[in-house]
Amino acid sequence: MTMTTTMATNETKIAFLGLGGMGTPMARRLLAAGYGLTVWNRTSARAEALVAEGAVAAASPAEAVRGADVVITMLADPAAALAVADAMIPALRAGATWIDTSTVGPDTVRELVSRLPDGVAFIDAPVMGSVDRAADGGLLILAGGETAPVDGLLAELGSVRRCGEVGTGAALKLVLISGVIGGVALLAESLRLAGALGLPEDLTRSALEASPLGGLVGRLFATEAHFPVALAAKDVGLALATGVGGLPVLEAVHGVLASRPDLATSDVSSLHP
């Protein structure tokens, strides 16, 4: 597939598809930076606040991307990414760059790329960080593919770690997010154990913070982050679906997450009793 790209500037026309908890603050940062922004979301009401700030709402994915220089997607799962791809790909112009920031895994990335016409560049760029980091431009962007033409645009969202060829960003995201989710789940159980043993929570927390687990303790008690348990289960499920064997701890974590439909929309910190 032959690809061409255009260096992104503030004159770049951006289409942003997917305005959930992460997509909305990411799109807002691009809008505030002066980029021309067209937005689309399956639930159209989610676009209203951004339209009030200067974005243009599109009625469909195809309408959103038509004429866009850069397309950014932030979608919930592989099914959503593939469905939106089918709707928008026929309208992509030659020379456009598609940046997918969704967490969908390398298999889905390869499927998305296989559907692209010649002349459209693809970057898989899933992010680490929750809504707080999305709002302040502090995301870690794990990028597979050639990012140079859109470095300035990505800098509005966070810092870029270049991972290699297309698909490597999606792969590294599964590694990192599995470690974080697994660590948070384990810490939640550690605190439950401490409570059962009669230890004060403040004592346990301060000791854990002083340990090598300190960073994860901060995530477990974060109040401005929001990573729903259902999406955490989805991400761990994607890691397990790669077919890599010998991951019994991750399988157990996935079982715990999937068994808590009562917490599906709650942040993973809700695992803490």
In a domain? residue 2: no
pLDDT in tens, 15-62: 999 999 999 999 999 999 999 999 999 999 999 999 999 999 999 999
pLDDT in tens, 210-234: 999 999 999 999 888 899 999 999 9
Kindly state the percentage of the chain with pLDDT values over 70.
96
Residue 2: pLDDT band with limits 50, 70, 90: very low
In a domain? residue 8: no
Residue 240: pLDDT band with limits 50, 70, 90: very high
Share the mean pLDDT of the chain. Answer: 94
Q: What is the pLDDT of residue 10?
A: 66
In a domain? residue 5: no
- Average pLDDT of the segment spanning 241-247: 92
Q: What are phi and psi of 142, to 5 degrees?
A: -95, 100
pLDDT in tens, 181-193: 999 999 999 999 9
Q: What does the alpha-carbon distance between residue 180 and residue 129 come to, in Å, rounded to a whole number? A: 11
Cite the beta strand spans of 74-215 per DSSP E. Answer: 97-100, 121-124, 127-128, 139-144, 158-164
Q: Flag whether pLDDT at 5 surpasses 80.
A: no
Report which residue type is found at 157. Answer: L
> Which domain-ending residue is among 111, 140, 166?
166
Range of the domain at 259: 172-271
In a domain? residue 84: yes
pLDDT in tens, 81-113: 999 999 999 999 999 999 999 999 999 999 999
Q: What is the pLDDT of residue 37?
A: 96
Which of 148, 84, 158 is CA-nearest to residue 121?
148
Catalytic residues: 173
pTM as predicted: 0.92
Residue 3: pLDDT band with limits 50, 70, 90: very low
Angle at alpha carbon of residue 175, lines to 170 and 179, rounded to 5°: 140
Q: What does the alpha-carbon distance between residue 22 and residue 24 come to, in Å, rounded to a whole number? A: 6
Residue 4: pLDDT band with limits 50, 70, 90: very low
Residue 244 to residues 236, 240, 248: CA-CA distances in angstroms? 12, 7, 11
Tokens 């800098």 appear where?
Answer: 155
Q: How far from the centroid of its chain's Cα atoms is residue 211's Cα?
A: 28
> Which domain-ending residue is among 131, 166, 201?
166
In a domain? residue 4: no
Q: What is the CA radius of gyration of the chain?
A: 19
Q: What is the pLDDT of residue 166?
A: 97
> Which domain-ending residue is among 146, 166, 186?
166
Kindly state the percentage of the chain with pLDDT values over 90.
92
Instruction: Please give the tally of structural domains in the chain.
Output: 2
- Average pLDDT of the segment spanning 177-183: 96
Q: Flag whether pLDDT at 9 surpasses 70.
A: no
CATH number at residue 179: 1.10.1040.10
